């Protein structure tokens, strides 16, 4: 820190977390259609100075920022920004990956122009619900939450490991007089400003796209209020982090902010509306584009925009696919089919039921997103349904692979305008391979869970015998876990201890805090 500057890093960070009220936060949202829902959901990131992307009925505002060193960044006053950075040098701390933690936010500035230059924006600004045509994004302004507010939780792994923020400077107990700016979502705007697609070291996962869930109404909100409640927000915060550490591809949760503002919800959809407290979750993902992002463009005949969006997604997230390859869209589809099968296999391996597997909840990058009425299966039951409004059991845990196949069929249909006839036929063949890919992945995962090494005759029968006959399309008179309603998690845990020395068992229990 230069002589004469007595500002403390903590104070400096707090000022950025709660910036002046005159800073306006604008939001951009992308159109999207769900195959199993009439909803149009805005999903994706974006940005210019204080631009944030917006979502529909769930009330999501998304943002992306880049560091001052980024090639896609610009500033109206680069000289001033540079000099400010030099005036606020502080003692360095480091995260577990060797990256320096950020205590001086002046070393970052906005913004990335790539998306703004690549896609058209809705001419109608504001939060008015309306039909959006011939563009990708809409501008809206996040709706303020009412005070008092509090920063209820942060994920240290995300804050320090991905955003490179110094979590020691974050006040987890309460906000101060700057809370008014937090209400407008600007706290997450600033936090997102730390995200650097350029500065993330090679080998670290890229979570360059952030969303604010519960930040208010957008042009895609239908009759919803765009709010989130504490109950669902806490669930998403905890589950997304748990899934990450279970090794399942997922979005991440950085922070949870709660308010006293009343939000009205019919929790069980039975006409019994109750008042709950509002909340906002800051989420991160590699991308928030979904199958529905392509569907709405295809179904509305906006083929040029469809092709632009596909090209952007492929260039950003599928670098091994050449932009000049005439089969690039076919290669993209093949990858999504394969990785979706793998993702659902991983869901099944931990007993996870998503609850709402619409195409607007299926990521093009095959990561778990939008944690709503999800659940983890306790007693083994292939008909387990966590969603209380799913009366027909469409999204029961045992049907997730079937629903995944259905969604991939919808993706194939959405891609038909950019496929040649031959590519369309090849894509159908690729889709037929989904079941085999899924079954192979399930077989691999559960062999590992059972500790079966190599390939032995009878392995292919042992797993469905233990679980359920339909899992690998086999038939048995006795299905152990389903018949006995065994606890899904504890069955494998106890099997792992069956032939393990007592001393080692004790070490295992100690390691997991049992």
Q: How many CB atoms lie under 10 A from the CB of residue 70?
A: 18
Print the SS3 string covering 233-291: HHHHHHHHHHHHHCCCCECEEEEEEEEEEEEEECCCCCCCCEEEEEEEEEEEECCCCEH
- Residue 276 has phi, psi (to 5 degrees) of -130, 165
Per the CB < 8 A criterion, the answer to whether 53 and 219 are in contact is no
Angle between helices 400-415 and 421-432 (to 10 degrees): 170
Token pair in block for residue 195: 């995200």
* Two structure tokens written together for 360: 């607007």
Which single residue is written with the structure tokens 């996962």?
205
Is 147 strand, coil or helix? Answer: coil
What is the distance between the alpha carbons of residues 354 and 350, in angstroms, rounded to a whole number? 12
507 by Cβ neighbours in 10 Å (0-12 / 13-18 / 19+) ranks as exposed
Helices within 291-433 (DSSP H only):
291-299, 303-317, 328-349, 400-415, 421-432
What is the Rg, in whole angstroms, of the alpha carbon atoms belonging to the chain? Answer: 24
Q: What's the N-to-C CA distance of the chain in angstroms?
A: 46
Is there a contact between 314 and 332 (Cβ–Cβ < 8 Å)? yes
Q: Which of 304, 360, 391, 511 is catalytic?
A: 360
What span, in angstroms and rounded, lies between the C-alpha atoms of 414 and 318?
Answer: 19
The DSSP 8-state label assigned to residue 70 in this structure reads: -
Q: Is 390 a catalytic residue?
A: no
Q: What amino acid positions are annotated as catalytic residues?
A: 360
């Amino acid at each position: 820190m230069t002589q004469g500057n007595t500002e403390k890093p903590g104070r400096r960070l707090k000022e950025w977390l709660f910036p002046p009220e005159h800073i306006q936060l604008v939001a951009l949202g992308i159109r999207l259609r769900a195959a199993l829902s009439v909803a149009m959901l805005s999903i994706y990131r974006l940005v210019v100075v204080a631009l944030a992307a917006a979502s529909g009925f769930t009330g999501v505002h998304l943002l992306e920022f880049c560091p001052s060193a980024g090639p896609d960044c610009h500033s109206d006053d680069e000289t001033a920004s540079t000099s400010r950075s030099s005036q606020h040098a502080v003692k360095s701390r480091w995260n577990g990956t060797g990256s320096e933690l950020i205590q001086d936010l002046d070393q970052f500035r906005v913004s990335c122009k790539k998306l703004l230059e690549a896609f058209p924006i809705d001419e109608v600004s504001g939060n008015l619900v309306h039909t959006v045509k011939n563009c990708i994004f809409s501008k809206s302004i996040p709706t303020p939450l009412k005070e008092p507010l509090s920063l209820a939780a942060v994920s240290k792994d995300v804050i320090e490991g991905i955003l490179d923020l110094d979590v020691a400077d974050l006040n987890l107990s309460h906000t101060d007089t700057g809370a008014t700016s937090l209400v407008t979502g600007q706290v997450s705007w600033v936090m997102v400003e730390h995200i650097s697609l350029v500065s993330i070291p090679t080998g670290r996962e890229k979570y360059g796209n952030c969303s604010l869930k519960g930040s208010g109404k957008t042009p895609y909100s239908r009759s919803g209020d765009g709010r989130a409640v504490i109950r669902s927000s806490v669930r998403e915060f905890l589950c997304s982090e748990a899934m990450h550490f279970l090794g399942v591809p997922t979005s991440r949760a950085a922070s949870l902010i709660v308010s006293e503002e009343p939000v009205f919800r019919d929790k069980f959809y039975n006409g019994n509306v109750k008042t709950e407290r509002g909340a906002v979750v800051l989420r991160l993902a590699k991308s928030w584009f979904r199958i529905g992002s392509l569907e709405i463009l295809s179904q509305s005949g906006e083929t040029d925009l469809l092709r632009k969006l596909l090209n952007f997604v492929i260039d950003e997230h599928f670098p091994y696919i050449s932009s000049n390859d005439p089969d690039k869209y076919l290669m993209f589809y093949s990858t999504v089919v394969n990785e979706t099968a793998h993702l659902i296999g991983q869901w099944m391996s931990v007993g996870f039921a998503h609850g709402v597997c619409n195409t607007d909840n299926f990521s093009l990058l095959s990561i778990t997103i939008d944690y709503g009425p999800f659940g983890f299966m306790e007693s083994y039951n292939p008909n387990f349904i966590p969603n209380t409004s799913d009366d027909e059991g469409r999204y029961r845990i045992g049907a997730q692979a079937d629903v995944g196949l259905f969604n991939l069929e919808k993706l194939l249909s959405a891609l038909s305008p950019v496929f040649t006839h031959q590519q369309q036929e090849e894509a159908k063949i690729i889709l037929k391979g989904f079941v085999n890919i899924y079954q192979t992945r399930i077989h691999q995962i559960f062999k590992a869970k059972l500790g079966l090494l190599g390939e032995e005759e009878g392995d292919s029968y042992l797993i469905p015998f233990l679980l359920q006959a339909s899992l690998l399309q086999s038939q048995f008179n006795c299905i152990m876990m389903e018949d006995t309603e065994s606890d899904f998690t504890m069955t494998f845990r106890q099997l792992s201890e069956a032939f393990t020395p007592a001393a080692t068992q004790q070490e295992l229990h100690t390691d997991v805090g049992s």
